[in-house]
Amino acid sequence: MTASRLAVVTGAATGIGLAVARRLGTAGFRVVLLDRDTTALAALPTEPWMAEGTVLDVADPGAIEGAFAALAARHGPVGVLVNNAGIAAVHPFLEHPLDAWERVMAINVTGAFLCSQAAARQMAEAGWGRIVSIASISGVRASLDRAAYGTSKAAVIGLTRQMAVELARFGITANAVAPGATETEFVRRHHPAAVRAAFDAATPDGRYAAPEEIAEVVTFLASEAAAHVNGVVLPVDGGFLAAGVLGERSGA
């Protein structure tokens, strides 16, 4: 068993992915930042923990295996994979366009599957690995207009359990983190004021997460200390999934 200190984070040019990459960097990993956004990757200042930034669209099935093989040739085998790249589509169920459904599935589900498969082949050879996938509270609870997004995140949770069962014998764990609403470009695009107010009201601690709060939990799941944590879905959501109707607070 060799614990590789090379971590790969998809969708790492901004938001949660960038916060995860930074936190893994401070935990001593060399980190490869994968993203489809060439400009955003190029704009990142170089930091000592960065192994490289690589342009990769996780929705391009033909590119993934080769990209991971090339990374291994340059840096050694991947030890940690964080499946973070994801998009949302917001449409009422009756009008949800098929192309938006397929795009969400291609990135959020098939992309995570293929990156995990490519990374796990390297991890299995080394006898050690950590796969952490960014799911969502939307994979556990439904909300309006998220037929594709919610279904894709439920699939990420299913994929996580499947990998946990099939890969344990190779020394690989697979876990998911389910963020609640988190302050990134993603919510600035998808959460108008009324949606923000609804999330704040439905969240016991009444606020959005900072990306760094998600990164902290991902880094724990990627650590040696989490060796016996496998197949879980860990919400980082201020209590959103624990809650029912939140009325006015009573008493003094």
Ligand X SMILES: NC(=O)c1ccc[n+]([C@@H]2O[C@H](COP(=O)([O-])OP(=O)(O)OC[C@H]3O[C@@H](n4cnc5c(N)ncnc54)[C@H](O)[C@@H]3O)[C@@H](O)[C@H]2O)c1
Give the binding site for ligand X (CB under 6 A).
10-11, 13-17, 35-37, 40, 56-59, 84-87, 107, 111, 134, 136, 179, 181-182, 184-187
Q: How far is the CB of 59 from ligand X (least distance, A)?
A: 4
Q: Kindly tell me the burial class for residue 226, based on how many C-beta atoms sit within 10 Å of its own C-beta (0-12, 13-18, 19 or more).
A: middle
Q: How far is the CB of 184 from ligand X (least distance, A)?
A: 3
- Please tell me which residue in 128, 149, 186, 199 is annotated as part of the active site: 149
Q: Are 112 and 39 in contact (CB under 8 A)?
A: no
Sign of CA dihedral 158, 12, 202, 142: negative
CA gap 10, 186 in Å, rounded: 15
Q: Residues 64-85, buried b or exposed e (16+ Cβ, 10 A)?
A: beebbeebbeebbbbbbbbbbb
**Residues sharing a CB contact under 8 Å with residue 115, sequence separation 6 or more, in sequence order:** 8, 10, 58, 64, 68, 81, 83
Sign of CA dihedral 101, 166, 20, 80: negative
136/203 with CB nearer ligand X: 136
123/237 with CB nearer ligand X: 237
Q: How far is the CB of 171 from ligand X (least distance, A)?
A: 26
Residue 208 appears among annotated catalytic residues? no
125/185 with CB nearer ligand X: 185
6/20 with CB nearer ligand X: 20
Q: How far is the CB of 141 from ligand X (least distance, A)?
A: 12
What single letter denotes the amino acid at residue 6? L
Q: Are 187 and 143 in contact (CB under 8 A)?
A: no
6/13 with CB nearer ligand X: 13
Residue 198 is encoded by which pair of tokens? 């609804």
Q: How far is the CB of 115 from ligand X (least distance, A)?
A: 9
Q: Which positions are annotated as active-site residues?
A: 149
